[in-house]
Each structure stands twice: as structure tokens, then as C-alpha cells.
């Protein structure tokens, strides 16, 4: 069994420290030289300041500016936080017990820290508000998508719940508001091959063997719009959004499909009308059948 190296730094504001492993074949003369090469977006002067403040730490304590490079060693540190636009919506709690927390993530809030979104994320908010420093997500939702996210209270249980999602043993239902297409025969099952390249915002449907499947059902329609139930069998990036767009019914408020829009981060006026509505599964710890339903509602249908 692989032994986990425990961080010598505590969390800060619900955030774990970053960890870097020093490559075994590294030839840098000092840890500072490695950090300058490894963190090209950080000004070397800032790295020097952080070293002086003893913010880069190894298993034996803080690194100095002249600390020799240690192949196979570790560096922990807390990143400088970006200036973030506060997301003016609360994270709801649908269920909480000793093992899991099921939260209602609002639109515009990331699930986990990433890129420009660090403190303004569901994970950090819940760790802080619930006093659960070891809380971790079992899966994720895109930042624009609202609805149910399953979090695990104890890290040692994370693998059991993540495996459910990996092995497709979780029943997931989504709700979407999109244009009504009277000529579209529903229900239907959409299958396609979806590819998402690193560094590219949008995903693409390309020729080839399908790796994504969604069942689309019509729930109701009025005034040119419709409520759809979406039942994904797979979990490719932007799968539901691409499949609805491919049917000629792009989801209301989608800034990516069919046209990529440049929206400022403080624009909360047009939420993507996509909701993770239901999660159901056999609990891998207790064995009981669990079913949770979001308490959120999509504004385009209410209005």
C-alpha cells in the first residue's frame, strides 16, 4: 500500500496547500531554481519574497533561497489568492450525515478550486460553513450548471463514492429549458463522440465510435420553450449541452453552444438553464438505497 505523505501546512480558509514533488532526475542546483522553472506564471521576485517569508515548506521545515535541490522531495505552499468576484448565491444543503453531504450548487459557482475560482467555490464554502476540513467532492458539476453535488465527509471514504460514478452506478437526472421543437420525435437517445482538448473552452462532436450517450425526454412546453428531462449514461465534458445543441434545441443561457460568448465574470443575469435534478444510488458504505432531489428551480420556466 502506498503511504501518503502528510502536509506540514494546515488548510488556510478551507484551502489545502499546493504540493509539488521534486523530480528524481532534476538537475536544478537549488529548490528556488526549480520553483522558478516550475511556476513560470509567478514572478521570480515573488518567489524570492515567499521564500523569505518561509512559505515554501518541506518535510523538515521551510526552504531557504539557497536550499539545495532534493530529488524526490516535496514542496508545500499556499498560493496567492486571486481577486475573485463574489458569487451572490448560497449553497443549499439537501442532506448531511456522518459520511456524505449532498449540496445544491447554484449557477456560476465552481465545484472545486480551479483557475480564477478558488475561494468562491462550493468546496471551500462548505468546508468553512460546516466546519468539515476533510470534505471532498465525489464528482463535479460545471460552473454554469446548478444542482446536486455529492461530497464525502471523510477522505478515506472518497474512493468508494467516486467509484460509483466511474462505474456508472449512479442514476442521474437533469432538467433543461430549451426551445420547443414540435417536429423532434421524443423521447430519443443521442449518441456521439465528444472530444475536449486541454486549453480549449469548448468540446466538439467528431466522427468516430460514440463515447457519450443521453436520453432526452419532453416534460412540458409552452410559449416556444420546453422542459426536458436528460438522462446521461456517460459523463463527457459538456455532453448535455452539446447533445441538446445538436438536436437544434440549445439550452437557454448557454454561453458556449452554439456560439461562444465572452461574458464578464460578474454577469450573473443569464444563468444556464441546466439543473442536476436527481441523484440515486446504492450507498457503498451503508448499503441502503439513496435518492436525492434538488430543491432549485430553473428561472426560465418559472417566469
Quote the CA–CA distance of 42 and 35 in Å, as a whole number: 9
Query: Do the Cβ atoms of 257 and 202 come closer than 8 Å?
Result: yes
Which residue do the cell numbers 445538436 mark? Answer: 246
Residue 248, sorted as left (phi over 0), alpha (psi -120 to 50) or beta, turns out to be: left
68 contact partners, CB below 8 Å, separation of at least 6: 29, 30, 31
> Is there a contact between 143 and 110 (Cβ–Cβ < 8 Å)?
yes
Closest CA to 105 of 76, 80, 140: 140
Closest to 237 (Cα-Cα) out of 263, 257, 215, 218:
257
Please give the Cα distance from 264 to 83 (Å, whole number).
14
Residue 66 appears among annotated catalytic residues: no
Catalytic residue among 16, 43, 60, 142: 142
Residue owning grid cell 468576484: 85
Q: Distance (Å, rounded) from C-alpha 262 to C-alpha 270?
A: 13
Element (H, E) at 290: strand 289-293
Which of the residues are catalytic? 142
Amino acid at each position: 500500500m502506498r503511504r501518503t505523505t502528510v502536509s506540514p501546512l494546515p488548510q488556510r480558509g478551507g484551502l489545502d496547500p499546493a504540493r509539488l514533488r521534486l523530480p528524481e532526475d532534476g538537475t536544478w542546483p537549488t529548490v528556488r531554481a526549480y520553483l522558478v522553472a516550475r511556476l513560470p506564471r509567478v514572478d521570480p521576485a515573488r518567489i524570492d519574497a515567499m521564500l523569505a517569508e518561509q512559505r515554501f515548506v518541506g518535510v523538515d521545515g521551510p526552504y531557504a533561497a539557497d536550499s539545495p535541490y532534493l530529488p524526490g522531495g516535496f514542496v508545500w505552499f499556499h498560493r496567492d489568492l486571486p481577486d475573485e468576484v463574489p458569487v451572490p448565491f448560497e449553497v443549499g444543503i439537501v442532506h448531511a450525515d456522518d459520511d456524505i453531504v449532498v449540496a445544491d450548487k447554484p449557477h456560476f459557482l465552481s465545484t472545486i478550486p480551479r483557475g480564477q475560482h478558488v475561494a468562491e467555490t462550493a468546496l471551500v464554502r462548505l468546508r468553512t460553513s460546516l466546519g468539515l476540513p476533510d470534505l471532498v467532492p465525489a464528482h463535479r458539476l460545471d460552473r454554469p450548471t446548478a444542482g446536486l453535488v455529492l461530497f464525502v465527509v471523510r477522505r478515506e471514504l472518497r474512493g468508494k463514492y467516486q467509484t460509483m460514478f466511474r462505474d456508472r452506478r449512479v442514476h442521474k437526472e437533469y432538467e433543461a429549458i430549451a426551445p420547443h421543437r414540435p417536429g423532434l420525435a421524443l423521447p430519443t437517445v443521442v449518441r456521439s463522440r465528444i472530444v475536449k482538448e486541454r486549453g480549449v473552452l469548448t468540446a466538439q462532436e467528431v466522427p468516430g465510435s460514440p463515447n457519450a450517450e443521453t436520453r432526452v425526454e419532453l416534460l412540458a412546453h409552452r410559449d416556444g420553450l420546453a422542459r426536458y428531462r436528460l438522462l446521461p449514461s456517460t459523463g463527457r465534458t459538456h455532453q448535455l449541452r452539446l447533445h441538446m445543441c445538436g438536436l437544434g434545441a440549445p439550452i437557454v443561457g448557454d454561453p458556449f453552444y452554439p456560439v461562444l460568448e465572452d461574458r464578464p465574470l460578474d454577469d450573473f443575469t443569464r444563468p444556464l438553464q441546466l439543473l442536476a435534478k436527481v441523484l440515486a444510488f446504492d450507498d457503498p458504505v451503508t448499503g441502503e438505497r439513496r435518492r436525492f432531489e434538488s430543491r432549485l428551480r430553473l428561472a426560465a420556466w418559472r417566469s
